[in-house]
Structure formats: C-alpha cells, structure tokens
C-alpha cells in the first residue's frame, strides 16, 4: 500500500493491545471480527505478518471491492459504495472509534491510517516474534537518534557565530565552519539519550552537510563532549538513513532517507504534524514498548 504522509496523532499515541480491543471495543465489532482477532492473539508471528493479520481481522472492508459483481464495480466507478448503508454506517463507526480514516464514498480506504494503527497495536501487544526473540536472548531493540534539532539545539549554534558569518553564509548556515561544535544540547536530550541507552541498543544517526567538511569532524567532537561513554563508537553519519536497519528512528525530518526508514519513524519536534513534541513524549511512548 502506498505510504502516504497523512498521519493521525491519535493513531500514533494509541496504546491499544489486542486484549484491550477485545475487552473495550467489542461493541464496535462483528462476531467474525472478534473471532479473527482472537485467532491472531493465539498465534504469535513476526511483526509484519501480525500487522497484516490484524488489518484483515479489523478492517476487512478495505478489500470489499475484490468481491464486486459487474454491477458493483460499475457503482464504484461512479463513486458509489455498492455495500448496503447499514453495513457502511457500522464500518465507519468502528473506524471512527479507532481514529482510522473513514472509507471514501466509493468504499475504498483513503490512506495508510489503518496500517499505522495496526502497527501500533502489534507494538503494544508485544507478542511478535522479533520482540520475543530479544527477550529470550536478553538483547534489546535498536533505536537511532538524529542530531540536529533532536540531540542538538541547532539555533544555539547560530546564536554564537559572528554577524559577518551570518551574512556570508545566509541561507546556508549549516556550512559555517565550526558551527556544529558550538551548538548546545536540545532540551531534555542528554537525559533522554541516557535513558534510551539503558533500555535500547542506541546509536546516533545524523547527516553532516556535504559542503561543510568541518561538520563531519565537529559532530564527532560534539558527541565526545556531551555523550563520551554512552555514544562511544556509536556515531553514524549518512545521507541514506533508510539503509540502516533497526526498530526506531527519532528524527525531526523525513529528509536523507529518514522518511523511508523501515522501522518506526518517531517524528520529533514541536511544530507541524510531528507526533512527538519533545523528549518527554518520546520517552513516554517508548517506555511502553520495552
Ligand atoms: Mg535533524
């Protein structure tokens, strides 16, 4: 399914497990949906398989079109959902209860909100093979942490450069030689990073500007200054963050591969559609997933 950028705050912050859905949401579900969900609960599988299984159990209406007759598909092409109104209302009420987008008028799902919802359910149910494997081997899930505007307060570096450099590098302030070492830690970042180290296999994953060679050195020096033991030999500098394999990436942007990261992108920052405004929100979320 196409990964759309439309995100729903509720979806991300939902800490529903399969058990909680079965207990608290039965009124929104049909018997066959409950039965399917119970089946998933009884059969632990790997993460991706479990997400798909929950999606098929809870949101099977997204595949209704596959059973269309000729007349049904004609209806759909004219923007009409051929399913009966009672069914459509019931399905949309359920989707609303889970903060998943309603079906479009022609009965198709309109975004990836049900995928994201099901991923969160699997993460919180904690019964998928990869996690059980970690528990058995006493290993930890992997977290990658971005630097600029996550670990590092970028603006604090700008505040320290000369007016002359501000003018000279206007529009490209990340190319000021030495600027990255001048930056202060982001609010709550050092404590947050140290907490992560105790609970996850934690690495720094940052991008250094291609046209500022000193940034590559300054980022290393910054890490040695503020996180000397915790981040020892755990600094990765890359323009291709999607190539790194792991469970979580805390990043304020989708650039340099962050948006294509295969695990969970914890979209960090106080502005816009970011799901995690600060370090407190990140830790509150991850605390439930260890
Ligand atoms: Mg950043």
Tens-digit pLDDT profile for residues 27-51: 999 999 999 999 999 999 999 999 9
Does residue 12 carry a pLDDT above 70? no
Buried b (16+ CB within 10 A) or exposed e, 69-85: eeebeebbeeeebbbee
Report pLDDT for 260: 96
Query: What three-state secondary structure class fits 137?
Result: helix
Report pLDDT for 273: 79
C-alpha of residue 140 to centroid of ligand 1, in Å: 24
Mean pLDDT of 205-228: 97
C-alpha of residue 229 to centroid of ligand 1, in Å: 22
Asked if 278 contacts 188 with a C-beta cutoff of 8 angstroms, the reply is: yes
DSSP 8-state symbol, 256:
T
Q: Which domains does the chain have, with CATH numbers?
A: 3-132 (no CATH), 140-287 (3.40.50.1000)
C-alpha of residue 41 to centroid of ligand 1, in Å: 38
Does residue 10 carry a pLDDT above 50? no
C-alpha of residue 148 to centroid of ligand 1, in Å: 4
Q: Which are the catalytic amino acids?
A: 146, 148
Query: What three-state secondary structure class fits 4?
Result: coil
Tens-digit pLDDT profile for residues 141-197: 999 999 999 999 999 999 999 999 999 999 999 999 999 999 999 999 999 999 999
Tens-digit pLDDT profile for residues 112-154: 999 999 999 999 999 999 999 999 999 999 999 999 999 999 9
pTM here is: 0.89
């Amino acid at each position: 399914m196409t990964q759309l950028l439309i995100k729903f705050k509720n979806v991300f912050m939902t800490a529903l497990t399969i058990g909680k859905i079965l207990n608290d949401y039965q009124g929104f579900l049909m018997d066959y949906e409950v039965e399917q969900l119970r089946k998933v609960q009884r059969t632990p599988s790997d993460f991706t398989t479990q997400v798909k299984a929950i999606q098929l159990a809870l949101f099977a209406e997204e595949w209704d079109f596959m059973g269309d007759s000729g007349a049904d598909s004609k209806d759909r092409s004219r923007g009409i959902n051929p399913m009966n109104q009672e069914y459509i209302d019931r399905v949309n009420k359920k989707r609303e209860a889970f903060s998943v987008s309603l079906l479009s008028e022609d009965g198709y799902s309109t975004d990836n909100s049900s995928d994201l919802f099901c991923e969160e359910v699997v993460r919180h149910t904690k019964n998928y093979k990869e996690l059980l494997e970690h528990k058995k081997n006493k290993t930890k899930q992997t977290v990658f942490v971005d630097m600029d505007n996550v670990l590092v307060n970028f603006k604090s570096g700008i505040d320290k450069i000369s007016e002359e450099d501000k003018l000279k590098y206007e529009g490209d302030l990340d190319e000021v030689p030495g600027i990255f070492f001048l930056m202060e830690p982001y609010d709550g970042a050092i404590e947050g990073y140290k907490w992560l180290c105790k609970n996850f296999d934690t690495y720094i994953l940052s991008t250094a500007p291609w046209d500022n060679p000193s940034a590559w050195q300054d980022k290393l020096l910054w890490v040695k200054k503020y996180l000397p033991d915790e981040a020892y030999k755990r600094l990765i500098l890359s323009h291709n963050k999607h190539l790194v394999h792991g469970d979580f990436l805390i990043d304020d942007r989708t650039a340099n591969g962050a948006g294509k990261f295969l695990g969970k992108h914890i979209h960090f920052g106080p502005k816009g559609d970011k799901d995690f405004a600060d370090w407190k929100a990140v830790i509150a979320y991850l605390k439930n997933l260890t």
